[in-house]
Amino acid sequence: MEKPTSNEAMGGVNRLNPNDVLLEEFVNLSDLLARVEDDRELLAELLMMFQQECPGLLDALHHAMDVGDLPAAANAAHTLKGMLANLSMTRGASLAATFEAAARAGNLPATLETMVSLDSEIGTLSAALDVFLAGK
């Protein structure tokens, strides 16, 4: 009898479903599914938590920028970066890291430019997550 591969032994980790295509532009699903040991209920819970927490972080980032508080903006971006990275949302995490670095350097033009890209990324990601979660 053949020994199951590690992928089979873990219950098919990294096996993508048709609905997963919605998120592949924003999320490294193979990586994220491996992190949650292919537990799709846990995956859905984590993504719902992200949908609940992300708007508050973006509001904090925007508020800090509105009042000219670059250190607070950098802190909000740092938290957002960690959240995005933990969910294998590499492009969003990279944008948040770029924003954080610019804010810590006091580079207002770069923070404003990056904020536009970050807002766009989070907006389209959030819309894709809504569709993905509705199909679960």
Domain count, the chain: 1
pTM: 0.84
Q: What is the CATH number of the domain that holds 50?
A: 1.20.120.160
Least confident residue range of 3-12, 73-82, 122-131: 3-12
Looking at the chain, the number of H-run helices and the number of E-run strands are: 6, 0
Considering the domain boundaries, does residue 75 fall inside one?
yes
Q: What is the 8-class DSSP label of residue 87? A: T
Residue 114 lies inside a defined structural domain of this protein? yes
Whether 1 is covered by a domain: the verdict is: no
Give a yes or no: residue 49 inside a domain. Answer: yes
Buried b (16+ CB within 10 A) or exposed e, 27-65: bbbeebbebbebeeeebeebbeebeeebeebbebbeebb
Q: Identity (one letter) of the amino acid at 89?
A: M
What whole-number distance in Å separates Cα of residue 43 and Cα of residue 30? 12
Phi, psi at 26, each rounded to 5°: -110, -25
Per-residue pLDDT tens for 78-103?
A: 999 999 999 999 999 999 999 999 99
Q: Would residue 38 count as lying in a domain?
A: yes
Q: Given a cut of 60, is residue 122 above it in pLDDT? A: yes
* Domain range for 46: 6-134
